[in-house]
Amino acid sequence: MKNWNLEHKKAFVTGGSKGIGKAVVSEFVALGAEVLFTGRNESDLLAAQQEFQSQGFKTHILSGSVTDAAHRSKIANWITSNWGKLDILVNNAGINIRKPTKEYTAEEYLRVMDTDLIAPFEFCRILFPVLQKSGKSSIINIASVAGSFDVQTGAPYGMAKSGLIQLSRNLASEWARYGILVNSVSPWFTSTPLTKEFLAQPEKVDKITARTPLNRIANDEEIAAAVAFLSMDKASYITGQNLSVDGGVTTSLL
């Protein structure tokens, strides 16, 4: 497995204090990367930081919301000042509000869109200079099967994730000349804090697993493994792709 690592890589992960984001940070540091990660909840962020540093890993944290322009600028300035380049960007932070379309308020659906689509677009845009300086960098956007199919989890979420998949394709073509690879990863239902309330309903879980060939819910480490591979130099000829990590569910949704 020589060279299947992330040694000497500088990575930034949004929403890295729990769920898929934390699993990605854990995978990255275990493979040798130095990671900056963010989160809205400062206590969760500090707990995750303490956990990683107690194991001897090199991690850094900045608390704030990805929808806050000042927070995004602070991150860009930190990366520029401390690293001067960025090898890996993982746009993971996301939210969802599940309800019928006619019941959303403008504030609710705009909040989903701002977090799940606009913030990743802005991070790609403002971090372009440091990604370019890497010479061979990767952007991985955490999308969802809901971005390609109706999985009855709310129209705004599906809209945002679909946009994220298309953003990845567009940037892959536009930024290839700068040595920047751009891909998206689309999980199916995964056991995370975001889905905890939904997956606490046995009838929902039964319906999901019945549609899934592997007959179970994913865990966050399984999603993180795919993200780590796409971040490696070994994936240097993969760009503009949407990798579904879905237990085979899209074989029956097609």
Q: Active-site residue numbers?
A: 157
Say how far apart CA 222 and CA 13 lie, in whole Å.
17
Burial class (CB in 10 A: 0-12, 13-18, 19+), 250: middle
**CA distances for 211 relative to 26, 38, 196, angstroms:** 30, 34, 19
- Phi and psi angles of residue 72, each rounded to the nearest 5 degrees, phi first: -65, -40
Say how far apart CA 178 and CA 33 lie, in whole Å.
22
- Number of H-type helices and E-type strands within the chain: 11, 9
Contact between 95 and 111 (Cβ < 8 Å): yes
Please report which helix (H) or strand (E) contains residue 62, including its range: strand 59-63
Residue with tokens 């029956």: 252
Q: Compute how many other C-beta atoms are within 10 angstroms of the C-beta atom of residue 124.
A: 20
Specify the amino acid at residue 231: S
Helix (H, G, I), strand (E, B) or coil at 145: helix
Say how far apart CA 242 and CA 162 lie, in whole Å.
11
Chain center to CA of 50: 22
